[in-house]
A and B are shown apart, each in its own frame.
Chain A
């Protein structure tokens, strides 16, 4: 028994220690990336200052840039030995550059991206996103053996891509709209098809879950049989069983929601 106790303690300690070790190693993954990012940012900021101010950089920005640049230089010197200093230098440099970008962008109002707000729509991005969405649905459809034909949609994707490449914005926008409605229809079909398999899944789940709930109710009755919710819960269990046997899954799901709420109340009153 003593050996078992010692073994358990050892497992717990080594488990905690190993996770902390893993985190440390993960956090120190190639510190040279800090230098790569900071150097790239330094160059970009300098280009931005050149294009925005030429040689008449405002003193405030000048000071910030010098601070950031000095931190990048210090970062170069800190690597590879002084990782802690390198991290500090990186954050300091990026903070200074970030402050510069905020000042440079100040006169222009912030644009929060939203579907309707995008005036100059990036059709290529829209098409790529739509393609990703379509691929997810296609995989699901194959899993459900829906037998849906995707050739028309795939043709529309090719057409939209060609239109974008040729700069035919209006036509491409129309094709993308067509694609959106077609994909919406497909999702509807998949959902209808999936409802059959999901009802089997729910039936299996329900039979397992109801046994578990029945045990909780039995335990609650032995502790305090006067709890009013126990009777309600027992009635709901009977209702759910009947609904499932009648293949009325949607109503069974609703009753399940009610039952779960009541079981939570019963569990609370047992522990009080």
Chain B
């Protein structure tokens, strides 16, 4: 005889970012997909409800393919400020994104240089303050520094998004303890952003207490993006359940799991 489990397949609590509520805790970036049909299958398999787009100069024949796709799928847009090097550039890009797409959501990212694409902390903080004052719902990309993460929350960011490793490296979470420190004193959702290589990295992010995971390369450049998207969806759900379940403490010596003879 089997008994039906009462544990929900996904956790009931929605992800709340500012005034937005999302049932999926997996945010997908659209960069790197070889074509829109591959991207569409991956997005559907991921179950994502929030997906990033970048703002670029419109070329004359420019198609708005990715926008049409996301609208068709009913996925909310998260425009980013990728490519910006200063607070002023990021603020203008955010305002243009709000005007073009009709959303106050913005993924704030200010990169320090092209080789590392690491976030520039002072410009990011400056831009965050300006955007919050202008009414944006700011999700700020940052390093894994617990001090800067706290400053971004104090600046009014709706979510803080520390990296696991530099963008596109797939190196996983290089400093799990810092991510735990950030989570431990955060009052807003912490979204692990950048560095995810495979499903176990996404599960670890959730086990460490992150509220969500944002990834793109790991899915879009995987050999089978659709399959990897499904893996990420399950990993995020598994990691979240494990976090809620409460893991056993780590022990140095063995502890018998069978009764003594």
Do these two chains interact?
no
